[in-house]
Structure 1
């Protein structure tokens, strides 16, 4: 079902609506003409109107779960979120840094695949299987974790992910056989994979549709830097310290990010803190939450006790339900978006996985030289992140009364065709043994086009599932990682021919 920009953009400036179980529409408050005060980051409403917004899928099977956040706005400002502009930027930056570890863990040992195969006395196909199974778990794990994050909050899930990820890192750093490597890589994937959906969930918690393109592109920067920087670091570390130290490095680096996150990042989940005006439960609270609510009390901003009681009544921590993710996947319109995203990311994974064999075979590169070949595709991805968000938001403002799908996809289709042409050109350049400049240029274009397309579809997906950004992103992870696993499984035999 189509949504107009007016429906999704302006309504979020007021509140996220609840979804009554007996109907398939959500009543939301439309706050028009909100003006941002850049000095303190607050927003001031001038006029309000009530309207209804259809949600994706009119049949019960395709509806988002009925546990959407309670309809509300900050009583003091009428804003979608009580966090200031500076606070929003810091929160999104922190979530983005935490999301770095999923793509980093995937890519950091790409340059060492052939070396690891020799050290563990297994074939290239077997060592590529560790990448394939990593991607399989990377798709499945967020289906469980995202539902928990949307109900229990972001911070408890971040703590669980940190614990699992680093237990696996310690085991991987100490293991000396292929079976242990295979199993522990799957555990590592389970701990790191949900951070991407958590980052998009955080953006959905505090950012409206009108700003979402820029913020999601901003939050994806770490995920883009990961595949670019990780292979370079991995190649250098493996060459000078051995590939086992790759996992000690991930343990140290992730601790440097996660410990400050757990100490200072506030809870943002709207099912737990609404627009940020409701204090989170004690076990989900940190220094900034305590300081911020004490500050609000000093300014006379009293907590709405009725709203708080309603939220506490609905708050529960139970066994994660993956069916919420499957509901998103089963929606027809969403499924088309997910498949398109999956094919594009599958090409990205295929290029990355096959790079070690391709460049060592056709250009006689060592692991460090192979790692440098990930810079061009990363550079294209960074260029995409710097431009895609602004272009997406610009098109949103200029097509305000059009369906949200049109506003998003108009900027995505041309880049999608460019991505296909770039991937085919890369295959030809490698196969033909073209001068090194040819695959480098093509990789820059491929990184730009693939990342741009992914950003557009990701923003549209979050728009289509208001209040369920983490679950929608986990559905995205599920499809793209399983398609990516197929692509990485096939690329080994193809590059070995």
Structure 2
């Protein structure tokens, strides 16, 4: 396995362990001391305190995803009020999603320089200011700029959340914790249109941003009061290095074969998820004669799937990892988590086919929503397992490696794939369109198979004991 920047222990460090490390562990490696320091840092917080911190991270993590889609039902209002084109209005949605993948490439390395807590406070303050700016925007150019800034401020927890899990939890607990952290990433896009639709109908599109400003203020208060610094580093002794805040450093993780191959499949599925929820509000009103409010409520289908997937997926990946560890003479390997995705890989094409063909033949609207629910469960199980796998192998730089994953799924797949969703669905028909995507998804799963069954064993055979340690 290739090591990430600053993660390998030097030969000198490995050859000169401290006496404390030897006495405590009976080993003669510098890795022992690192693990002792990390465990001591995790023991600073009680189990209840960790759950509170995890809850704050999960709640604040909804800001960016919620804001990405909350004003989608009011796009026509924005077009009329700002006297612009629907193309430019749609651009405010696309640039928001793109920036959600780009900004964590800065926030992640910055959190390793100044700490998680400071980054969270700064980023949410930026989010609140930009949300107010969106509400006061006099023209589409101003709204476009403010949406970019709003996205940058609201997306920090995409990287900080994973780093916090690595800070607080041992390997066998991370799957469950990761499920809690990332529930907002999947709930936000489906609950946003419900809230935004009713706000826009009652008070106009600008009220959506007043709501987001107030919500951001509450989140900022919760971070100030309830979110301590979780990193084990003493930042008072770390000299700030601007050169380290380089977005290309997190992106370099995608050059590592195990990162690239393990993230392509879930990143593609994330883009496909946004493809389907873009089709939903276009097709459902005409096929089922539903009002705007009712169409918004239909997003509860995939939303429920996301909740089930994150709840089940986190615990299931911990269970599979623990079970395989017992069969491996007590030796835990990161790739064991990826074996939790196989049932979910079957759910993806099943959900897509059910959604597409029931929509094609105008079957009662509950049926295509059931397809979206099944697809959402499969998606979130796969995402949770992949996130936890990446944190396990790069725990010291979890924020950066998850930042690279977020770039791939948000700035690439989730930004590009919805752009041609309506044209593809109308051109091929809903059934054939989803059949094509189901077939492609079934091929993409081979990348994860390679990591679990080929690269993992090869990495174990070639790596030293120090490199095999989690986070080494």
Instruction: Give the TM bin, normalised by the shorter chain.
Output: 0.7 to 0.9
After the TM superposition, which residues 314-325 of structure 1 pair with which residues of structure 2 at under 5 Å, given as runs? 314-316=238-240, 318=242, 320-325=245-250
Q: 1:347 maps to which residue? A: 272
Kept in 2: contact 1:169–1:188 (CA 8 A): yes
Could you list the per-position Cα deviations for residues 89-134 of structure 1 after superposition, in whole angstroms to 9, with x for gaps in the alignment?
A: 1111111111110111112123333443454455554433322221
Q: Which has the higher helix share?
A: 2
Summarize the Cα distance change of 1:356–1:27 in structure 2 as closer, same or farther, 3 Å threshold.
Answer: farther
Summarize the Cα distance change of 1:79–1:470 in structure 2 as closer, same or farther, 3 Å threshold.
Answer: closer
Task: Identify which of 175, 178, 188 aligns with 1:226.
Answer: 188
Structure 2 regions of 5+ residues with no counterpart? 428-472
Kept in 2: contact 1:239–1:367 (CA 8 A): no
Kept in 1: contact 2:351–2:370 (CA 8 A): no
How much does 1:315 deviate?
4.1
Task: Identify which of 412, 424, 436 aligns with 1:494.
Answer: 424
Q: Does 1:337 align with 2:262?
A: yes
Q: TM-score, normalised by structure 1?
A: 0.76
Q: 1:103 maps to which residue? A: 65
Q: 1:157 maps to which residue? A: 119
Could you list the per-position Cα deviations for residues 244-276 of structure 1 after superposition, in whole angstroms to 9, with x for gaps in the alignment?
A: 11111010011112123123421112333xxxx
SS at match of 2:364: coil
After the TM superposition, which residues 41-80 of structure 1 pair with which residues of structure 2 at under 5 Å, given as runs? 48-50=25-27, 71=34, 73=36, 80=42
Could you list the per-position Cα deviations for residues 423-445 of structure 1 after superposition, in whole angstroms to 9, with x for gaps in the alignment?
A: 24323333333221211211211
SS at match of 2:25: strand
Q: TM-score, normalised by structure 2?
A: 0.80
SS at match of 2:200: helix
Kept in 2: contact 1:94–1:261 (CA 8 A): yes
Q: Does 1:397 align with 2:359?
A: no
Q: 1:416 maps to which residue? A: 345
Q: Which has the higher strand share?
A: 1
Q: 2:414 maps to which residue? A: 484
How much does 1:475 deviate?
0.7
CA distance, structure 2, for counterparts of residue 185 and residue 156 of structure 1 = 23
After the TM superposition, which residues 210-225 of structure 1 pair with which residues of structure 2 at under 5 Å, given as runs? 210-225=172-187
Summarize the Cα distance change of 1:327–1:363 in structure 2 as closer, same or farther, 3 Å threshold.
Answer: same
Q: 1:14 maps to which residue? A: none
Could you list the per-position Cα deviations for residues 187-235 of structure 1 after superposition, in whole angstroms to 9, with x for gaps in the alignment?
A: 1111111212111111111111111011111222333332332221111
Q: 2:143 maps to which residue? A: 181
What RMSD in Å do the two structures reach over aligned CA positions? 3.1
Summarize the Cα distance change of 1:72–1:409 in structure 2 as closer, same or farther, 3 Å threshold.
Answer: closer
Q: 1:434 maps to which residue? A: 363
Paired residues in the alignment total 416
Q: Does 1:198 align with 2:122?
A: no
Q: 1:65 maps to which residue? A: none
Q: Does 1:370 align with 2:300?
A: no
Kept in 2: contact 1:357–1:495 (CA 8 A): no
How much does 1:413 deviate?
2.1
Q: 2:431 maps to which residue? A: none
Kept in 2: contact 1:74–1:82 (CA 8 A): no
